[in-house]
Structure 1
Amino acid sequence: MRFMVIVKANRDTEAGQMPSTDMLAAMGKFNEEMAKAGVIEAGEGLHPTVKGARVKYASGAAGVTRGPFKLTSDLIAGFWLIKTASLDEAISWMKRAPFEPGAEIEIRQVFAVEDFGEALTPELREQEERTRAYAAKK
């Protein structure tokens, strides 16, 4: 199973405050442990929302709002994409992440091709496979 681990933003991340050397070292060690165990597929921090935008779709048009955005619980400061046997295993790994007190993450399972059932026709499945193969070459 694949899981997206969403790291919630806070005042420091939204202010563009970079982690300390100690935090970077601890996070690097944690990421290395996950890599050696074959768990991590990707993981990155995100710039604050002042450098971002939101696109909202309505009535065939797309409206754009540039950041910064008000600090709410839906803002994201970073992510991991991990692969584990279960949600419990994902939770076990993330409980070891070296975050400061008050930090919050969210763990969400990523849909797999088979989750879409009959709606994913053979033609759509082939298209998905072509897209993934193309992306893997980049």
Structure 2
Amino acid sequence: MAKYMLIMRNSGSEQSFDEMDFDAVITAMGKYNEAMIEAGVLLAGDGLSDAAQGSVVEFTGEAPIVTDGPYGEAHELFNGFWTIQAGSLQEAVEWAKRAPLTRGNKIEVRRVTDESDFAGHEDNEYLQKERQWRADGIG
């Protein structure tokens, strides 16, 4: 089974959290998470704080440039994620379609790379170290 990341993006939701029953939002997300746990697909997931409380490190010149939030356009805001285990991209997409999100939001579904993506480079020192880090529970 492959790992997929479901990346939640707010692209200018038609309804802000301030206008919602936040307890209902928490309950809906909790039910969604519980369904993924019961199905055995959820590996990790978290929401993110408001973009105004973060920073962006941009690599466009010789030295990295740090910009405090809020930043970017609405379509660039990344609000949270789930990492799931699924048999295929289509299965991961089906889980994404069940997310209790409001109009104007998006979920990007991407496969998490694994050792097969680095075939032919198994002798690389850092791939070997990463294997050990994972065995040690890091990463």
TM-score, L = length of structure 2: 0.83
How far apart, in 2, do the equivalents of 1:37 and 1:83 lie?
Answer: 10
Partner of 1:126: 128
How far apart, in 2, do the equivalents of 1:41 and 1:82 lie?
Answer: 5
How far apart, in 2, do the equivalents of 1:111 and 1:34 lie?
Answer: 21
Q: Percent identity?
A: 37
Give yes or no for contact 1:42–1:82 (8 Å, CA) kept in 2.
yes
How far apart, in 2, do the equivalents of 1:19 and 1:85 lie?
Answer: 35
How far apart, in 1, do the equivalents of 2:111 and 2:24 lie?
Answer: 30
- Amino acid in the other structure paired with 1:110: V
- Amino acid in the other structure paired with 2:8: V
Partner of 1:42: 44
Q: Identify the range of structure 1 (82-91 vs 100-109) with the bigger mean alpha-carbon deviation.
A: 100-109
RMSD, aligned α-carbons: 2.3
Counterparts of residues 76-91 of structure 1 (less than 5 Å): 76-91=78-93
- Amino acid in the other structure paired with 1:25: T
Give yes or no for contact 1:16–1:48 (8 Å, CA) kept in 2.
no
How far apart, in 1, do the equivalents of 2:120 and 2:105 lie?
Answer: 40
Give yes or no for contact 2:11–2:104 (8 Å, CA) kept in 1.
no
How far apart, in 2, do the equivalents of 1:51 and 1:78 lie?
Answer: 14
How far apart, in 1, do the equivalents of 2:138 and 2:5 lie?
Answer: 23
Partner of 1:3: 4
The 4+ residue runs of structure 1 with deviation greater than 6 A are none
Which of 27, 40, 64 is matched with 1:25 structurally?
27
Counterparts of residues 43-62 of structure 1 (less than 5 Å): 43-57=45-59, 58-59=61-62, 61-62=63-64
CA separation of 1:19 and 1:52: change in aligned 2, threshold 3 A:
farther
- Amino acid in the other structure paired with 2:10: A
How many residue pairs match? The answer is 134
SS in structure 1 opposite 2:64? Answer: strand
TM-score, L = length of structure 1: 0.84
Please list every run of 5 or more consecutive structure 1 residues that lacks an aligned counterpart in the other structure: none
SS in structure 2 opposite 1:21? Answer: helix
Please list every run of 5 or more consecutive structure 2 residues that lacks an aligned counterpart in the other structure: none
